[in-house]
Amino acid sequence: MDDQLLELFPASGRNVPLTGLYLGHDLRSRTAPCVFSNFIVSLDGRIALPAPASGLLRVPPVIANRRDWRLYLEIAAQADVLLTTARHLRAVAAGRHGDLLAVTAQPDLRAWRTARGLPPSPAVAAVSKDLDIPVGVTADLPGPLCVLTTDSAPAARERVLAAAGIRVWRLPGTTLDGATLVAALTAAGYAIIYSIAGPRVLHALCTARMLNRLYLTQATVLLGGEPCVPLLLGPELMPALRTRLVACHLDPHAPPGAMQLFSVYEIADDDEMNTPAT
Choose among 180, 237, 174, 176: nearest CA to 206. 237
| Residue 4 neighbours by CB distance under 10 Å | 13
**Per-residue confidence at 129, pLDDT binned at 50, 70, 90?**
very high
Mean pLDDT of 158-170: 94
Alpha helices for the chain (secondary structure H): 66-77, 86-93, 102-105, 107-115, 155-163, 178-187, 199-207, 270-273
Last residue of a domain, one of 172, 190, 208: 190
Same domain, 146 and 240: no
Give the tens place of pLDDT for each residue, 191-243.
Answer: 999 999 999 999 999 999 999 999 999 999 999 999 889 999 999 999 999 99
Q: What pLDDT, on a 0 to 100 scale, did the predictor assign at position 274? A: 42
pLDDT at 174 over 50: yes
pLDDT at 142 over 90: no
In-domain check, residue 144:
yes
Is the link from the previous residue into 120 a cis peptide, with omega within 30 of 0? Answer: no
Same domain, 211 and 255: yes
Give the chain's domain count.
Answer: 2
In-domain check, residue 221:
yes
At position 1, the amino acid (one-letter code) is M
Q: How far apart are CA 108 and CA 252, in angstroms?
A: 25
In-domain check, residue 70:
no
In-domain check, residue 63:
no
Choose among 161, 143, 162: nearest CA to 81. 143
- For the chain, the C-alpha Rg in angstroms (whole number) is 19
Same domain, 179 and 85: yes
What is residue 218's three-state secondary structure?
Answer: strand
| Residue 211 neighbours by CB distance under 10 Å | 25
Higher-pLDDT residue of 233 and 269 is 233
Mean pLDDT of 167-195: 94
Last residue of a domain, one of 190, 208, 223: 190
By DSSP bridging, strand 243-251 and strand 4-9 are: antiparallel
Question: Domain of 148: which CATH number?
Answer: 3.40.430.10
Contacts of 182 (CB under 8 A, 6+ apart): 33, 35, 193, 205, 208, 210
pLDDT at 276 over 70: no
Higher-pLDDT residue of 95 and 78 is 78
pLDDT at 170 over 60: yes
In-domain check, residue 88:
yes
Same domain, 203 and 186: no
pLDDT at 19 over 70: yes
Q: What pLDDT, on a 0 to 100 scale, did the predictor assign at position 2? A: 82
Last residue of a domain, one of 137, 163, 190: 190
pLDDT at 245 over 60: yes
Half-sphere exposure of 201 (CA within 13 A, CB side): 27
Q: What pLDDT, on a 0 to 100 scale, did the predictor assign at position 275? A: 46
Same domain, 142 and 206: no
Domain holding 151, by residue range, is 81-190
Q: What pLDDT, on a 0 to 100 scale, did the predictor assign at position 183? A: 96
Q: Quick check: 259 and 220 in contact, CB under 8 A? A: yes
